[in-house]
A = this chain, B = another copy of it.
């Protein structure tokens, strides 16, 4: 057993990893506690339920992804449309590496949670919707920057951003189903078509 003081963090990290790999419903509280080295009594001190921990795991996934992957992809060191291209390329490299290392294509933790639970779990639906809005705002910023430079002409940047985000989520559905990271490379190339940009 690790220190009690970081038990909550360990539960969240363990749940985030297990649930991303196998889904929320396939992972039990007992397994999470055993893997994290935390006693079940402590679990219920920190979390009301497994769903409560699942929501915390989504927060952690997004906080990590946002501060690393997303900030890097959408960094303003390159032209706005190149940031969108870089996002799709980075996603390809990320999942290609996971695939080659044998961890497989787990896909998007937020899309996974949405399809598994959003229809019948209010908290997960709200949580994932917030993440989706925040994610789409990265695309929207790049689209607005591109329009300001005259690179593209877009009627509704918010809708175009949502379209790109939907396309990305769908690409991951196909790549995960086929267990093939090349889907992300191949289809990612067409993403800017959604903006009439090419």
Chain A interface size, as a band, is 35 or more
- The answer to the question of A69 belonging to the interface, with a C-beta cut-off of 8 Å to chain B, is no
| Chain A, interface SS category | helix
Which residues does chain B contribute within 8 Å of A163, judged by CB atoms? 167, 187, 190, 193
Is B174 touching A125 in the complex (CB atoms < 8 A)?
Answer: no
A177 and B160 CA atoms in complex are apart in Å by: 18
- The answer to the question of A85 belonging to the interface, with a C-beta cut-off of 8 Å to chain B, is no
- The answer to the question of A112 belonging to the interface, with a C-beta cut-off of 8 Å to chain B, is yes
- The answer to the question of A186 belonging to the interface, with a C-beta cut-off of 8 Å to chain B, is yes
Near B by CB (< 8 A), chain A positions 168-198 give 168-171, 173-174, 176-179, 183, 186-187, 190, 193-196, 198
Is B115 touching A116 in the complex (CB atoms < 8 A)?
Answer: yes
Q: Which 10 pairs across A and B sit closest by C-beta, in order of nearness?
A: A170-B170, A25-B25, A114-B177, A166-B170, A169-B170, A169-B173, A128-B177, A115-B115, A25-B26, A104-B119
